[in-house]
Structures are given as C-alpha cells and as structure tokens.
Amino acid sequence: MEFVSYVGLGSNLGDRELNLLRAIAEIGKIPASRITALSGFYDTEPVGPVPQDPFLNAVLRLETSLTPHQLLAELQRIETEVFRRDRTIPQGPRTMDLDLLIYDDIVLESETLTIPHPRLHDRRFVLAPLAEISPDQTHPLFGKTTAELLRDLPPGGQVTKI
C-alpha cells in the first residue's frame, strides 16, 4: 500500500540550488518510493535565533510504501551520508535539511518523529511551496488546507519564488 507524504528541503550553505537538485535525485532513489510532484524553489529568510544566510527551499510529494520511521531514516541518511550534515548548532546553517512534513493523514508523536511536522502550520517557507503543489492538502490536526494556512499567516518572513 502506498502512502502520500510531503518532504521539505532546505539549504543555505554552498551551492544551494545544486544541493536541492542533488537531494531530489537522492530522494528519488529511496526504495519503494517515487516522487510525484515538486514545487518551485523559494529564496527565504532564515527563521530562528542563529544569524545565517538565506535558504533555498522546496517541497516534494513522495508516494511510498515505507513506514514513517523508515522514511525518516532514509531522509536522515541522505542528510548525513550525502551532505555530511553537522548537527552541532541547533537551527544553524546547513547544506541540506530534509523534513518529513506530512505522511498521509497520520498523526504521530514519538521520541524521534512528530507528524505532521510541529511547525508546519506557521512556516511560510514550507507552506508556500506546499500550497503550490497541493493547495487542498488538509492539515491532519487543524483541518485547514495548506492554502488556508498560508493565507492565515501574519505578514512577514520573506519568501520569493525564483
């Protein structure tokens, strides 16, 4: 059985566009999974307490028969093995950040994974590309579509499609 999941991609170190393209190619190799939609790329202001360069972000839809934890393990493997992600500075600069945003209509909270992503609903840099490819996707907890969540955000957070 295949499940529909959405993965957020972000990079603000090195060649950001090349990093996103490499990550998309690597995600495309995940067993028992296939990419079925990809947003455009968005230049975005960093969010959080750490001063850093702007990000390039995108969202893709992935149909998979992997469990949420198996999919997370694959995404983290790509971050670590392909992009040599260093997690020493929380919310710090990174060559690649892959977030499992939504997995079907599942609501899950474990020590290692929370679905839907706990900050999905208030992050313009995720909602803009997600709404581009799936404006009618309903948030499993809030019952609002991605288009509605994006529309309801307060002003701020520079997000520009390139």
Catalytic annotation, residues: 84, 94, 97, 99
For every residue of 39-73, DSSP letters joined together read ---EEE---SSS--PPEEEEEEEEEESS-HHHHHH
Cα 135 from chain centre: 15
Give the CA distances from residue 99 to residues 1, 39, 108, 154, 161, in Å, rounded to whole numbers and listed in that order.
Answer: 22, 15, 14, 23, 20
| β-bridge mates for residue 6, sequence order | 61, 102
